[in-house]
């Protein structure tokens, strides 16, 4: 039988997407011979709201938290995004969702937060020049001597609250957008940023990551299958053929 060969078929799905690979034979292949595989990332599934915020980092998407089904959540985000984007960019956002294009960016911030590390039991926390707290009423205290401590390194992908000054104490908020804790911190920090008291930086942080796997789509994968068929041979016939060949050579 001819060796089987594999081709990739990409399906765009909402929420958790999967990569399906179908095995096609050179001749007619029965349905029972098909091979199905899933391509999963090493990190857990990331919230669509956070991925949308990455897509719309320069558009200031309104913040909402998932409270219903994945489908309702998806449609709610698209509806609110429609207040800021034209139809072309809405379609691009849908495509970005389907291949989870911004999920790696969310995981990058999650890893940065893990390296801080987060204070125990905190849904959200701030870092002010190497000092951590998850209590809003401690922010003012930590800001007093912030200038005497080392200024944090900021990454190119960091989200900074608009301000006319850069040489200000840096307050980095690690929180999940759409949560009450985020809203409470954001209200205080955005006010201070508007008054040019601080440089407010937001980094995504999910205290309790999803237990679901992050299935990927739109990535090329090759599945190589080798035939392992064996044929029964008569050893006596093989030896006989070898003897005849030797006699002819003589």
**What mean pLDDT is predicted for residues 194-223?**
85
> How sure is the predictor about 23, in pLDDT bands with cuts at 50, 70 and 90?
very low
Question: Where does 122-193 show beta strands of DSSP type E?
Answer: 125-128, 131-133, 159-160, 170-175
Q: How far is CA 59 from the centre of its chain?
A: 20
Residue 12 has pLDDT above 70, yes or no: no
pLDDT at 169: 96
Instruction: State the residue for tokens 């999650």.
Output: 110
Residue 131 has pLDDT above 90, yes or no: yes
pLDDT at 223: 67
Most confident of 13-17, 67-71, 181-185: 181-185
pLDDT at 159: 92
Residue 18 has pLDDT above 50, yes or no: no
Q: For residues 86-125, b (16+ Cβ closer than 10 Å) or e, as one string?
A: eeebeeebeebbbbbbbbebbbebbebbeeeebeeebbbb
Percent of the chain past pLDDT 70, that is, above it, reads 67
pLDDT at 38: 72
Residue 199 has pLDDT above 60, yes or no: yes
SS3 170: strand
pLDDT at 104: 87
Output the CA angle 166-181-99, nearest 5 degrees: 80
Closest by CA to 159, choosing from 118, 115, 116, 102, is 102
Residue 190 has pLDDT above 70, yes or no: yes
C-alpha–C-alpha distance, residues 104 and 58, integer Å: 18
């Amino acid at each position: 039988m001819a060796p089987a060969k594999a081709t990739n078929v990409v399906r765009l799905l909402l929420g958790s997407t999967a990569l399906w690979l179908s095995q096609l034979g050179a001749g007619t292949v029965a349905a029972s011979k098909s091979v199905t595989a899933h391509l999963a990332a090493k990190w857990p599934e990331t919230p669509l709201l956070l991925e949308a915020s990455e897509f719309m980092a320069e558009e200031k998407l309104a913040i909402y938290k998932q409270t219903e089904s994945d489908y309702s959540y998806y449609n709610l985000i698209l509806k609110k995004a429609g207040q800021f984007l034209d139809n072309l960019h809405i379609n691009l956002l849908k495509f970005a969702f389907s291949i989870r294009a911004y999920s790696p960016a969310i995981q990058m911030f999650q890893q940065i937060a893990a390296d801080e590390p987060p204070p125990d039991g905190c849904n959200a926390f701030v870092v002010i020049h190497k000092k951590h707290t998850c209590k809003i009423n401690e922010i003012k205290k930590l800001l007093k001597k912030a200038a005497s401590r080392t200024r944090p390194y900021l990454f190119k992908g960091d989200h900074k609250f608009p301000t006319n000054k850069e040489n200000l104490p840096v307050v980095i908020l690690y929180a999940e957008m759409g949560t009450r804790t985020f809203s409470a911190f954001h209200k205080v920090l955005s006010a201070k940023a508007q008054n040019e008291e601080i440089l407010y930086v937001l980094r995504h942080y999910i205290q309790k990551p999803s237990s679901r796997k992050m299935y990927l789509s739109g990535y090329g994968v090759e599945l190589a299958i080798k035939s392992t068929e064996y044929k029964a041979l008569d050893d006596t016939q093989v030896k006989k053929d070898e003897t005849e060949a030797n006699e002819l050579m003589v």
